Structure 1
Amino acid sequence: MKYLDKIGFYHYYRRGGKRWPLKGEPGSRGFLEDWRIAEAEYLGTTPFGVKESFNEIADRYLVSPEFNDLGAGTQKNYRVYIKQLRRDFGPSPIGDIKRKHIRAYRDGIAERKGAANQSVRVMMALMAWAIDADLIEINPAANIK
Protein backbone atom coordinates (compact mmCIF):
# COMPACT_ATOMS: atom_id res chain seq x y z
CA MET A 1 0.00 0.00 0.00
CA LYS A 2 1.33 3.41 -0.90
CA TYR A 3 1.02 6.19 1.64
CA LEU A 4 0.21 9.26 -0.43
CA ASP A 5 -1.62 12.38 0.65
CA LYS A 6 -4.06 14.27 -1.60
CA ILE A 7 -1.26 16.04 -3.45
CA GLY A 8 0.76 12.87 -3.98
CA PHE A 9 3.47 13.34 -1.37
CA TYR A 10 4.83 10.49 0.69
CA HIS A 11 5.28 11.20 4.39
CA TYR A 12 7.79 9.45 6.62
CA TYR A 13 8.99 9.54 10.18
CA ARG A 14 12.79 9.72 9.84
CA ARG A 15 15.25 9.21 12.68
CA GLY A 16 18.56 7.49 13.08
CA GLY A 17 18.90 6.65 9.39
CA LYS A 18 15.59 4.77 9.33
CA ARG A 19 12.23 5.80 8.00
CA TRP A 20 8.71 4.67 8.71
CA PRO A 21 5.88 5.41 6.22
CA LEU A 22 3.01 7.46 7.64
CA LYS A 23 -0.50 6.89 6.25
CA GLY A 24 -2.86 9.58 5.08
CA GLU A 25 -3.02 13.31 5.53
CA PRO A 26 -0.80 14.94 8.15
CA GLY A 27 -2.92 15.38 11.25
CA SER A 28 -5.32 12.54 10.41
CA ARG A 29 -5.91 9.76 12.91
CA GLY A 30 -3.99 7.15 10.90
CA PHE A 31 -1.09 9.53 10.36
CA LEU A 32 -0.83 10.37 14.07
CA GLU A 33 -1.11 6.72 15.10
CA ASP A 34 1.67 5.74 12.69
CA TRP A 35 3.79 8.63 13.98
CA ARG A 36 3.30 7.46 17.56
CA ILE A 37 4.22 3.88 16.69
CA ALA A 38 7.31 4.92 14.69
CA GLU A 39 8.54 7.20 17.45
CA ALA A 40 8.04 4.50 20.07
CA GLU A 41 9.93 1.96 17.94
CA TYR A 42 12.78 4.41 17.47
CA LEU A 43 12.92 5.18 21.20
CA GLY A 44 12.61 1.49 22.08
CA THR A 45 9.39 1.94 24.04
CA THR A 46 5.84 0.78 23.61
CA PRO A 47 3.30 3.49 22.82
CA PHE A 48 0.14 3.55 24.91
CA GLY A 49 -1.75 0.35 24.21
CA VAL A 50 -0.54 -0.07 20.66
CA LYS A 51 1.23 -3.41 20.81
CA GLU A 52 0.28 -5.12 24.04
CA SER A 53 -2.73 -7.39 23.89
CA PHE A 54 -5.43 -7.76 26.49
CA ASN A 55 -3.90 -11.15 27.38
CA GLU A 56 -0.49 -9.59 28.04
CA ILE A 57 -2.00 -6.84 30.18
CA ALA A 58 -4.12 -9.35 32.09
CA ASP A 59 -1.03 -11.48 32.77
CA ARG A 60 0.83 -8.45 34.10
CA TYR A 61 -2.15 -7.40 36.22
CA LEU A 62 -2.48 -10.85 37.79
CA VAL A 63 1.09 -10.66 39.15
CA SER A 64 0.93 -6.99 40.15
CA PRO A 65 1.15 -5.80 43.76
CA GLU A 66 -2.29 -4.19 43.35
CA PHE A 67 -3.84 -7.54 42.50
CA ASN A 68 -1.93 -9.29 45.28
CA ASP A 69 -3.28 -6.75 47.79
CA LEU A 70 -6.83 -7.94 47.07
CA GLY A 71 -8.41 -10.54 49.32
CA ALA A 72 -8.17 -14.21 48.38
CA GLY A 73 -11.87 -14.40 47.49
CA THR A 74 -11.68 -11.30 45.33
CA GLN A 75 -8.59 -12.63 43.55
CA LYS A 76 -10.37 -15.91 42.81
CA ASN A 77 -13.44 -14.03 41.53
CA TYR A 78 -11.32 -11.71 39.34
CA ARG A 79 -9.45 -14.68 37.84
CA VAL A 80 -12.75 -16.27 36.80
CA TYR A 81 -13.95 -13.10 35.08
CA ILE A 82 -10.59 -12.32 33.49
CA LYS A 83 -10.60 -15.83 32.03
CA GLN A 84 -14.01 -15.11 30.48
CA LEU A 85 -12.91 -11.68 29.23
CA ARG A 86 -9.87 -13.26 27.56
CA ARG A 87 -12.16 -15.26 25.26
CA ASP A 88 -13.47 -12.09 23.66
CA PHE A 89 -10.65 -9.59 24.13
CA GLY A 90 -7.55 -11.82 24.42
CA PRO A 91 -5.52 -11.02 21.29
CA SER A 92 -6.93 -7.49 20.89
CA PRO A 93 -4.43 -4.66 21.40
CA ILE A 94 -5.37 -2.98 24.66
CA GLY A 95 -5.57 0.42 22.97
CA ASP A 96 -8.17 -0.86 20.50
CA ILE A 97 -10.68 -1.85 23.19
CA LYS A 98 -13.36 0.83 23.27
CA ARG A 99 -16.49 1.44 25.36
CA LYS A 100 -18.67 0.08 22.55
CA HIS A 101 -16.80 -3.25 22.68
CA ILE A 102 -17.22 -3.56 26.44
CA ARG A 103 -20.92 -2.65 26.22
CA ALA A 104 -21.40 -5.23 23.43
CA TYR A 105 -19.69 -7.86 25.59
CA ARG A 106 -21.87 -6.94 28.58
CA ASP A 107 -25.03 -6.99 26.46
CA GLY A 108 -24.03 -10.40 25.07
CA ILE A 109 -24.16 -11.93 28.55
CA ALA A 110 -27.01 -9.71 29.83
CA GLU A 111 -29.23 -12.71 30.61
CA ARG A 112 -26.86 -13.27 33.54
CA LYS A 113 -27.12 -9.77 34.98
CA GLY A 114 -24.77 -10.39 37.91
CA ALA A 115 -22.09 -11.84 35.65
CA ALA A 116 -22.49 -8.99 33.17
CA ASN A 117 -22.08 -6.33 35.86
CA GLN A 118 -19.17 -8.10 37.52
CA SER A 119 -17.39 -8.52 34.17
CA VAL A 120 -17.58 -4.77 33.63
CA ARG A 121 -16.30 -4.12 37.19
CA VAL A 122 -13.33 -6.45 36.66
CA MET A 123 -12.58 -4.88 33.27
CA MET A 124 -12.76 -1.44 34.90
CA ALA A 125 -10.29 -2.49 37.62
CA LEU A 126 -7.89 -4.00 35.08
CA MET A 127 -8.06 -0.90 32.86
CA ALA A 128 -7.54 1.38 35.89
CA TRP A 129 -4.40 -0.61 36.67
CA ALA A 130 -3.29 -0.23 33.02
CA ILE A 131 -3.68 3.55 33.31
CA ASP A 132 -1.53 3.58 36.47
CA ALA A 133 1.05 1.47 34.61
CA ASP A 134 1.08 4.04 31.76
CA LEU A 135 -0.21 1.51 29.24
CA ILE A 136 -3.39 3.37 28.26
CA GLU A 137 -4.65 6.89 28.78
CA ILE A 138 -8.41 6.39 29.21
CA ASN A 139 -10.41 3.70 31.00
CA PRO A 140 -12.98 2.52 28.43
CA ALA A 141 -14.88 0.56 31.10
CA ALA A 142 -15.40 3.55 33.41
CA ASN A 143 -19.02 4.54 34.09
CA ILE A 144 -20.59 1.83 31.93
CA LYS A 145 -24.04 1.26 33.35
Structure 2
Amino acid sequence: MVGRRKNKADQWLPPRVYRGKSRYEYRPSSGETIKLGFRPKDGIESEQVKAQVWADYAKAKDAPVAVNDVNKLISEFHSSAQFIRLSANTQTDYNHYCKRIRRVFGHMSPRDITKVNVRDFMDALGNQGKVVTANRHKSYLSALLSWGAERGWLEQNPAFGVKPFKEVARDRYVEDWEFELVQRVARESAYPYVAPMMDFAYLCRARTIELRALTEADITAEGIYLRRTKGSISEITGWSDRLVSAVKEARSVYPDAPVSIDRPLFHGKKGAPIPASSFKTAWGRIMRRALDSGLTERFTFHDLKAKGVSDHKDKASGHRSKKMQAVYNRRPDMITPTR
Protein backbone atom coordinates (compact mmCIF):
# COMPACT_ATOMS: atom_id res chain seq x y z
CA MET A 1 0.00 0.00 0.00
CA VAL A 2 1.43 3.38 -1.05
CA GLY A 3 1.60 6.03 1.66
CA ARG A 4 0.02 9.42 1.15
CA ARG A 5 2.21 12.37 0.13
CA LYS A 6 2.78 15.13 2.66
CA ASN A 7 2.18 17.77 0.00
CA LYS A 8 -1.35 17.55 -1.45
CA ALA A 9 -0.03 18.86 -4.77
CA ASP A 10 2.02 15.66 -5.08
CA GLN A 11 -0.84 13.22 -4.55
CA TRP A 12 -1.24 12.59 -8.29
CA LEU A 13 2.41 11.45 -8.70
CA PRO A 14 2.95 7.69 -9.17
CA PRO A 15 4.60 5.72 -6.33
CA ARG A 16 8.32 6.54 -5.89
CA VAL A 17 8.14 9.30 -8.51
CA TYR A 18 9.46 12.74 -7.54
CA ARG A 19 10.16 16.10 -9.15
CA GLY A 20 13.78 16.49 -10.13
CA LYS A 21 15.42 19.73 -11.24
CA SER A 22 14.16 19.44 -14.80
CA ARG A 23 12.51 16.02 -15.07
CA TYR A 24 10.31 13.67 -13.12
CA GLU A 25 12.34 10.91 -11.45
CA TYR A 26 11.40 7.36 -10.58
CA ARG A 27 13.41 5.99 -7.65
CA PRO A 28 12.74 2.26 -7.19
CA SER A 29 13.82 0.33 -4.09
CA SER A 30 16.97 -0.84 -5.93
CA GLY A 31 18.44 2.60 -5.23
CA GLU A 32 18.85 3.87 -8.77
CA THR A 33 17.22 6.97 -10.26
CA ILE A 34 15.34 6.61 -13.56
CA LYS A 35 14.66 9.80 -15.49
CA LEU A 36 11.13 10.19 -16.84
CA GLY A 37 9.69 13.06 -18.91
CA PHE A 38 10.68 16.73 -18.62
CA ARG A 39 8.73 18.93 -16.25
CA PRO A 40 6.72 21.71 -17.95
CA LYS A 41 8.70 24.95 -18.08
CA ASP A 42 5.66 26.99 -17.05
CA GLY A 43 5.14 24.76 -14.01
CA ILE A 44 1.56 23.91 -15.01
CA GLU A 45 0.98 20.19 -14.61
CA SER A 46 -2.00 19.63 -16.89
CA GLU A 47 -3.98 16.41 -17.14
CA GLN A 48 -2.05 15.63 -20.31
CA VAL A 49 1.27 16.05 -18.46
CA LYS A 50 0.06 13.84 -15.61
CA ALA A 51 -1.09 11.15 -18.00
CA GLN A 52 2.29 11.16 -19.72
CA VAL A 53 4.12 10.85 -16.38
CA TRP A 54 1.97 7.82 -15.48
CA ALA A 55 2.67 6.27 -18.89
CA ASP A 56 6.43 6.81 -18.49
CA TYR A 57 6.22 5.37 -14.97
CA ALA A 58 4.46 2.24 -16.21
CA LYS A 59 7.21 1.64 -18.80
CA ALA A 60 9.98 2.20 -16.29
CA LYS A 61 8.32 -0.01 -13.68
CA ASP A 62 7.93 -2.91 -16.11
CA ALA A 63 11.45 -2.55 -17.53
CA PRO A 64 14.16 -4.89 -16.25
CA VAL A 65 15.65 -3.42 -13.10
CA ALA A 66 19.33 -2.52 -13.39
CA VAL A 67 21.36 -4.25 -10.73
CA ASN A 68 23.65 -1.74 -9.04
CA ASP A 69 25.71 -4.20 -7.05
CA VAL A 70 29.41 -4.28 -6.19
CA ASN A 71 30.16 -6.29 -9.33
CA LYS A 72 28.83 -3.43 -11.45
CA LEU A 73 30.65 -0.86 -9.30
CA ILE A 74 33.94 -2.70 -9.89
CA SER A 75 33.33 -2.73 -13.65
CA GLU A 76 32.59 1.00 -13.65
CA PHE A 77 35.61 1.81 -11.45
CA HIS A 78 38.01 -0.22 -13.60
CA SER A 79 36.74 1.62 -16.70
CA SER A 80 37.10 5.06 -15.12
CA ALA A 81 39.65 7.77 -15.90
CA GLN A 82 40.87 7.56 -12.31
CA PHE A 83 41.73 3.88 -12.70
CA ILE A 84 43.43 4.46 -16.05
CA ARG A 85 45.68 7.09 -14.46
CA LEU A 86 46.99 4.56 -11.93
CA SER A 87 50.40 3.00 -12.52
CA ALA A 88 50.51 -0.25 -14.47
CA ASN A 89 51.67 -2.05 -11.33
CA THR A 90 48.76 -0.74 -9.26
CA GLN A 91 46.28 -1.64 -11.99
CA THR A 92 47.64 -5.18 -12.00
CA ASP A 93 47.27 -5.39 -8.22
CA TYR A 94 43.72 -4.03 -8.33
CA ASN A 95 42.73 -6.49 -11.07
CA HIS A 96 43.97 -9.24 -8.77
CA TYR A 97 42.32 -7.96 -5.59
CA CYS A 98 38.93 -7.42 -7.22
CA LYS A 99 38.52 -11.17 -7.81
CA ARG A 100 38.21 -11.93 -4.09
CA ILE A 101 36.09 -8.81 -3.51
CA ARG A 102 33.68 -10.00 -6.21
CA ARG A 103 33.36 -13.41 -4.56
CA VAL A 104 32.60 -11.93 -1.14
CA PHE A 105 30.75 -8.67 -1.84
CA GLY A 106 29.87 -8.87 -5.53
CA HIS A 107 26.17 -9.66 -5.08
CA MET A 108 25.65 -6.92 -2.46
CA SER A 109 24.47 -3.38 -3.01
CA PRO A 110 27.28 -0.97 -2.04
CA ARG A 111 24.75 0.77 0.23
CA ASP A 112 24.31 -2.42 2.26
CA ILE A 113 28.00 -2.92 3.12
CA THR A 114 28.79 -2.03 6.75
CA LYS A 115 31.96 -1.61 8.77
CA VAL A 116 31.16 -4.94 10.42
CA ASN A 117 31.11 -6.62 6.99
CA VAL A 118 34.55 -5.20 6.18
CA ARG A 119 35.91 -6.18 9.59
CA ASP A 120 34.55 -9.73 9.28
CA PHE A 121 36.11 -10.03 5.82
CA MET A 122 39.51 -8.96 7.14
CA ASP A 123 39.29 -11.17 10.23
CA ALA A 124 38.48 -14.21 8.10
CA LEU A 125 41.73 -13.70 6.18
CA GLY A 126 43.67 -12.75 9.31
CA ASN A 127 42.61 -15.97 11.05
CA GLN A 128 44.18 -17.85 8.13
CA GLY A 129 47.45 -16.03 8.69
CA LYS A 130 46.91 -13.83 5.63
CA VAL A 131 47.45 -10.51 7.36
CA VAL A 132 49.12 -8.75 4.44
CA THR A 133 46.49 -10.10 2.04
CA ALA A 134 43.73 -8.76 4.29
CA ASN A 135 45.32 -5.30 4.44
CA ARG A 136 45.87 -5.05 0.69
CA HIS A 137 42.30 -6.14 -0.11
CA LYS A 138 40.93 -3.68 2.45
CA SER A 139 42.92 -0.87 0.83
CA TYR A 140 41.51 -1.78 -2.58
CA LEU A 141 37.97 -2.06 -1.21
CA SER A 142 38.31 1.34 0.42
CA ALA A 143 39.51 2.93 -2.84
CA LEU A 144 36.62 1.29 -4.69
CA LEU A 145 33.95 2.43 -2.22
CA SER A 146 35.38 5.96 -1.98
CA TRP A 147 35.13 6.25 -5.74
CA GLY A 148 31.56 4.97 -5.57
CA ALA A 149 30.57 7.30 -2.72
CA GLU A 150 31.70 10.31 -4.73
CA ARG A 151 29.38 9.22 -7.53
CA GLY A 152 26.26 8.40 -5.58
CA TRP A 153 26.57 4.63 -5.30
CA LEU A 154 26.50 4.87 -1.50
CA GLU A 155 26.41 7.56 1.16
CA GLN A 156 29.83 7.04 2.75
CA ASN A 157 32.73 4.62 2.63
CA PRO A 158 32.22 1.89 5.31
CA ALA A 159 35.85 0.74 4.96
CA PHE A 160 37.06 4.10 6.26
CA GLY A 161 38.14 3.76 9.88
CA VAL A 162 38.41 -0.04 9.83
CA LYS A 163 41.84 -0.69 11.32
CA PRO A 164 44.34 -2.69 9.27
CA PHE A 165 46.34 -5.48 10.84
CA LYS A 166 49.79 -4.63 12.14
CA GLU A 167 52.34 -5.98 9.71
CA VAL A 168 55.69 -7.35 10.78
CA ALA A 169 58.49 -6.31 8.43
CA ARG A 170 60.30 -9.17 6.70
CA ASP A 171 63.70 -9.95 8.20
CA ARG A 172 64.78 -12.73 5.83
CA TYR A 173 68.43 -12.26 4.93
CA VAL A 174 69.63 -14.29 1.95
CA GLU A 175 73.02 -15.84 2.63
CA ASP A 176 75.65 -15.89 -0.13
CA TRP A 177 75.46 -19.68 -0.53
CA GLU A 178 71.68 -19.48 -0.91
CA PHE A 179 72.01 -16.79 -3.58
CA GLU A 180 74.59 -18.83 -5.48
CA LEU A 181 72.54 -22.04 -5.28
CA VAL A 182 69.36 -20.42 -6.63
CA GLN A 183 71.29 -18.57 -9.34
CA ARG A 184 72.85 -21.84 -10.46
CA VAL A 185 69.40 -23.44 -10.63
CA ALA A 186 68.15 -20.47 -12.66
CA ARG A 187 70.96 -20.84 -15.22
CA GLU A 188 70.05 -24.51 -15.69
CA SER A 189 66.30 -23.81 -15.97
CA ALA A 190 64.04 -22.78 -18.84
CA TYR A 191 64.32 -19.21 -17.55
CA PRO A 192 68.06 -18.36 -17.74
CA TYR A 193 67.36 -14.59 -17.82
CA VAL A 194 66.52 -14.83 -14.10
CA ALA A 195 70.19 -15.45 -13.22
CA PRO A 196 71.49 -12.02 -14.35
CA MET A 197 68.32 -10.41 -12.98
CA MET A 198 69.33 -11.72 -9.56
CA ASP A 199 72.69 -9.96 -9.85
CA PHE A 200 70.99 -6.72 -10.87
CA ALA A 201 68.49 -6.94 -8.00
CA TYR A 202 71.40 -7.34 -5.58
CA LEU A 203 73.93 -4.92 -7.07
CA CYS A 204 71.44 -2.14 -7.92
CA ARG A 205 69.12 -2.85 -4.95
CA ALA A 206 66.22 -2.99 -7.39
CA ARG A 207 62.64 -4.16 -7.53
CA THR A 208 61.41 -6.62 -10.15
CA ILE A 209 59.27 -4.01 -11.91
CA GLU A 210 62.29 -1.70 -12.17
CA LEU A 211 64.44 -4.42 -13.70
CA ARG A 212 61.80 -5.45 -16.22
CA ALA A 213 61.65 -1.79 -17.34
CA LEU A 214 65.40 -1.49 -17.95
CA THR A 215 66.36 -0.93 -21.59
CA GLU A 216 69.61 -0.85 -23.54
CA ALA A 217 69.41 2.95 -23.33
CA ASP A 218 69.78 2.72 -19.54
CA ILE A 219 73.24 1.16 -19.88
CA THR A 220 75.43 4.26 -19.84
CA ALA A 221 79.16 4.96 -19.73
CA GLU A 222 78.82 5.82 -16.04
CA GLY A 223 76.78 2.78 -15.06
CA ILE A 224 73.20 1.52 -14.93
CA TYR A 225 70.50 4.19 -14.80
CA LEU A 226 67.65 2.83 -12.69
CA ARG A 227 64.24 4.51 -12.70
CA ARG A 228 62.94 3.70 -9.26
CA THR A 229 59.22 3.34 -8.54
CA LYS A 230 57.03 4.05 -5.51
CA GLY A 231 58.48 7.50 -4.95
CA SER A 232 62.06 6.30 -4.49
CA ILE A 233 64.97 8.28 -5.90
CA SER A 234 66.24 7.23 -9.34
CA GLU A 235 69.98 6.80 -9.57
CA ILE A 236 72.96 5.53 -11.54
CA THR A 237 74.79 2.52 -10.12
CA GLY A 238 78.44 2.73 -11.13
CA TRP A 239 80.25 -0.08 -12.85
CA SER A 240 81.88 -3.00 -11.07
CA ASP A 241 83.32 -6.19 -12.53
CA ARG A 242 80.30 -8.15 -11.35
CA LEU A 243 77.85 -5.66 -12.86
CA VAL A 244 79.70 -5.74 -16.21
CA SER A 245 79.48 -9.55 -16.17
CA ALA A 246 75.75 -9.40 -15.35
CA VAL A 247 75.12 -7.17 -18.40
CA LYS A 248 77.07 -9.55 -20.65
CA GLU A 249 75.11 -12.52 -19.33
CA ALA A 250 71.77 -10.75 -19.81
CA ARG A 251 72.65 -9.99 -23.44
CA SER A 252 73.82 -13.55 -24.09
CA VAL A 253 70.61 -15.29 -22.95
CA TYR A 254 68.75 -14.77 -26.25
CA PRO A 255 71.47 -13.54 -28.65
CA ASP A 256 69.24 -13.83 -31.75
CA ALA A 257 66.62 -11.38 -30.44
CA PRO A 258 66.31 -8.12 -32.42
CA VAL A 259 68.55 -5.37 -31.03
CA SER A 260 67.44 -1.76 -30.55
CA ILE A 261 68.14 1.08 -28.13
CA ASP A 262 64.73 0.68 -26.48
CA ARG A 263 64.80 -3.11 -26.23
CA PRO A 264 64.42 -4.38 -22.66
CA LEU A 265 67.66 -5.65 -21.18
CA PHE A 266 65.75 -8.65 -19.82
CA HIS A 267 63.50 -9.97 -22.56
CA GLY A 268 61.97 -13.02 -24.20
CA LYS A 269 63.32 -14.94 -27.18
CA LYS A 270 61.97 -12.35 -29.63
CA GLY A 271 63.02 -9.31 -27.62
CA ALA A 272 59.60 -8.66 -26.05
CA PRO A 273 59.30 -7.47 -22.42
CA ILE A 274 58.81 -10.14 -19.78
CA PRO A 275 55.28 -9.89 -18.29
CA ALA A 276 55.01 -9.78 -14.51
CA SER A 277 52.93 -12.98 -14.51
CA SER A 278 55.57 -14.83 -16.55
CA PHE A 279 58.34 -13.76 -14.20
CA LYS A 280 56.29 -14.81 -11.18
CA THR A 281 55.79 -18.26 -12.71
CA ALA A 282 59.50 -18.55 -13.54
CA TRP A 283 60.62 -17.57 -10.04
CA GLY A 284 58.16 -19.98 -8.42
CA ARG A 285 59.46 -22.92 -10.46
CA ILE A 286 63.09 -22.00 -9.85
CA MET A 287 62.48 -21.73 -6.11
CA ARG A 288 60.76 -25.14 -5.98
CA ARG A 289 63.69 -26.74 -7.81
CA ALA A 290 66.15 -24.97 -5.51
CA LEU A 291 64.36 -26.41 -2.46
CA ASP A 292 64.85 -29.86 -3.97
CA SER A 293 68.52 -29.04 -4.55
CA GLY A 294 69.51 -28.12 -1.00
CA LEU A 295 67.89 -24.76 -0.23
CA THR A 296 66.40 -25.04 3.26
CA GLU A 297 64.13 -21.97 3.29
CA ARG A 298 62.50 -20.20 0.39
CA PHE A 299 62.93 -16.47 -0.17
CA THR A 300 61.31 -13.90 -2.44
CA PHE A 301 62.98 -12.16 -5.34
CA HIS A 302 62.36 -8.90 -3.50
CA ASP A 303 64.53 -10.22 -0.65
CA LEU A 304 67.49 -9.81 -3.01
CA LYS A 305 67.04 -6.04 -2.92
CA ALA A 306 67.13 -6.22 0.88
CA LYS A 307 70.31 -8.29 0.70
CA GLY A 308 71.85 -5.66 -1.57
CA VAL A 309 70.93 -2.87 0.86
CA SER A 310 72.13 -4.88 3.86
CA ASP A 311 75.50 -5.62 2.25
CA HIS A 312 76.03 -2.10 0.87
CA LYS A 313 78.58 -0.04 2.80
CA ASP A 314 76.22 2.97 2.89
CA LYS A 315 72.99 0.93 3.13
CA ALA A 316 71.84 2.77 -0.01
CA SER A 317 68.33 1.77 -1.07
CA GLY A 318 66.96 4.73 -3.02
CA HIS A 319 64.31 5.38 -0.36
CA ARG A 320 63.65 8.92 0.77
CA SER A 321 62.81 8.04 4.36
CA LYS A 322 65.09 6.61 7.04
CA LYS A 323 62.23 4.34 8.10
CA MET A 324 62.11 2.56 4.74
CA GLN A 325 65.90 2.33 4.61
CA ALA A 326 65.76 0.53 7.95
CA VAL A 327 63.18 -1.94 6.63
CA TYR A 328 65.59 -3.07 3.91
CA ASN A 329 68.65 -3.29 6.16
CA ARG A 330 68.44 -6.85 7.47
CA ARG A 331 71.90 -7.21 8.99
CA PRO A 332 72.96 -5.64 12.29
CA ASP A 333 75.23 -2.63 11.80
CA MET A 334 78.83 -2.96 12.93
CA ILE A 335 79.50 -0.43 15.69
CA THR A 336 82.87 0.31 17.23
CA PRO A 337 83.13 -0.18 21.00
CA THR A 338 83.08 2.79 23.36
CA ARG A 339 86.79 2.29 24.13
- Give the gaps of 5 or more residues in structure 2: 17-26, 37-66, 164-339
RMSD over equivalenced CA pairs, Å: 2.8
Corresponding residue pairs, total: 118
Q: 1:58 aligns with which of 58, 62, 74?
A: 74
CA distance in 1, matches of 2:142, 2:121: 13
CA distance in 2, matches of 1:124, 1:40: 22
CA distance in 2, matches of 1:42, 1:15: 20
Q: 2:3 aligns with which of 1, 4, 11?
A: 11
Distance 1:12 1:54, change over 3 A: farther
CA distance in 1, matches of 2:131, 2:94: 16
Question: What is the 5 A alignment of 1:1-145?
Answer: 11-12=3-4, 17-19=13-15, 37=28, 43=35, 52-110=68-126, 111-145=129-163
- Higher helix proportion, which one? 1
**AA in 1 matched with 2:105:** F
Could you give the per-residue CA deviations for residues 85-126 of structure 1, whole angstroms, max 9, x where no partner exists?
Answer: 100111111110111111111111112000000111000000
Instruction: Report the Cα offset of residue 11 of structure 1.
Output: 2.0
| Helix, strand or coil at the partner of 2:15 | strand
Distance 1:75 1:42, change over 3 A: closer
Could you give the per-residue CA deviations for residues 56-81 of structure 1, whole angstroms, max 9, x where no partner exists?
Answer: 00000000011111000100101111
Q: Is the 8 A contact 2:32 2:68 kept in 1?
A: no
**AA in 2 matched with 1:19:** P
Q: Is the 8 A contact 1:106 1:116 kept in 2?
A: yes
| Helix, strand or coil at the partner of 2:111 | helix
TM-score (norm: length of structure 1): 0.70
Q: Is the 8 A contact 1:12 1:19 kept in 2?
A: no
Distance 1:107 1:12, change over 3 A: farther
Q: Is the 8 A contact 1:102 1:141 kept in 2?
A: yes
Greater shift, 116-125 or 126-135, is seen at 126-135
Structure with higher RCO (Cα < 8 A, 6+ apart): 1
CA distance in 1, matches of 2:93, 2:34: 40
| Helix, strand or coil at the partner of 2:140 | helix
Instruction: Report the Cα offset of residue 134 of structure 1.
Output: 2.1
Q: Is the 8 A contact 1:81 1:119 kept in 2?
A: yes
CA distance in 2, matches of 1:116, 1:40: 31
Instruction: Report the Cα offset of residue 133 of structure 1.
Output: 1.6
- Give the gaps of 5 or more residues in structure 1: 4-9, 21-35, 45-50
Percent of paired sites with the same residue:
25
